[in-house]
Amino acid sequence: MQVKICGITDAAAMQAAADADFLGFVFFPPSPRAVTPARAAELSASLAGGPQRVGLFVDATDDQLAETLAAVPLDVLQLHGEETPDRCAAVRARFGLPVMKALGIASAADLEGLAAYVPHVDRFLLDAKAPPGAPLPGGNAAPFDWTLTAGRTIPRPWLLAGGLTPGNVAEAIRVAGAPGVDVSSGVEVSRGVKDPDRIAAFIAAARGA
Ligand SMILES: O=C(O)c1ccccc1N[C@@H]1O[C@H](COP(=O)(O)O)[C@@H](O)[C@H]1O
């Protein structure tokens, strides 16, 4: 079971998430979890081995990606906007890093859309679609119907995201058949502020599922 804790902004959250497989830094300024590349580098400096560092970008330009990567070493690029398969291929080729493509899922038809991405991405992150009027394309504490992925073969490694919490993650894994999970809001005390105890509880619940 792979676990990603997304939207890390402080050292206490970094420490609590040290047992996760992936840590996410949000490089999308409108997010309450956004960090500068310099801040992410500072936080990363305390990481000896351990989780892979994921940079979350939303329709980023090559310049933004290059500037970020010049400041902070990242292991995975999470593309959480409207990036097309061709754009994923171009990012992967130019920056030489694994690409995790986030896609909003609301129906079985949305899952059919994964096929076009398969040759160009290394992993999927299946999230809810942003609720109407939401200011962010993700990180909205919104779940999708977990039965949509039940019994289906997803043609790449994948993480389940959207509205997960320490209290529902075990059930989500069971129903969705997910091999990994990703959380942001569900381990926060207030929007954008992570709670180390909830992070630890989430990792334990996911691993125990
Ligand atoms: O977390 C954010 O602020 C964010 C901003 C823009 C795009 C994606 C974002 N977060 C990602 O969304 C999933 C689901 O979040 P939540 O657990 O429902 O709050 C999260 O795991 C991030 O990968």
Give the per-residue pLDDT at 193. 97
Task: Compute, in angstroms, the gap from residue 6 CA to the centroid of ligand 1.
Answer: 7
The reply to whether ligand 1 has any atom less than 6 angstroms from the CB of 139 is yes
Beta strands 188-190 and 193-194: pairing type? antiparallel
Tally DSSP H helices, then E strands, for the chain: 7, 10
Give the per-residue pLDDT at 3. 98
Give the per-residue pLDDT at 47. 80
The reply to whether ligand 1 has any atom less than 6 angstroms from the CB of 83 is no
Give the per-residue pLDDT at 102. 98
62 is catalytic: no
Tokens of 123: 């992993």
| Count of other CB atoms within 10 angstroms of residue 48 | 6
Tokens of 155: 């043609």
Indicate the domain borders of the chain.
2-207
Tens of each residue's pLDDT in the chain, 209 residues: 999 999 999 999 999 999 999 999 999 999 999 999 999 999 998 887 889 999 999 999 999 999 999 999 999 999 999 999 999 999 999 999 999 999 999 999 999 999 999 999 999 999 999 988 888 999 999 999 999 999 999 999 999 999 999 999 999 999 999 999 999 999 999 999 999 999 999 999 999 98
Give the per-residue pLDDT at 50. 87
Q: Hey, what amino acid is at 32?
A: P
Tokens of 129: 């679609």
The position carrying tokens 């859309």 is 113
Nearest CA among 56, 47, 121, 111 for reference residue 84? 121
Question: Which residues, including other chains, have CB under 8 Å from residue 179's CB and lie 6 or more apart?
Answer: 1, 2, 157, 158, 159
Concatenate the DSSP letters of all residues of 106-160 into one string.
SSHHHHHTTGGGGGG-SEEEEEPPPPTT-SSSS-S-----GGGTTTPPPSS-EEE
Which ligand 1 atom lies nearest to the CA of residue 187?
Answer: 17
The reply to whether ligand 1 has any atom less than 6 angstroms from the CB of 9 is no
88 is catalytic: no
The reply to whether ligand 1 has any atom less than 6 angstroms from the CB of 143 is no
Contact 61, 95 (CB under 8 A): no
Question: Which residues, including other chains, have CB under 8 Å from residue 153's CB and lie 6 or more apart?
Answer: none
Class of domain 2-207: alpha beta
Dist. CA 101–CA 116, nearest whole Å: 12
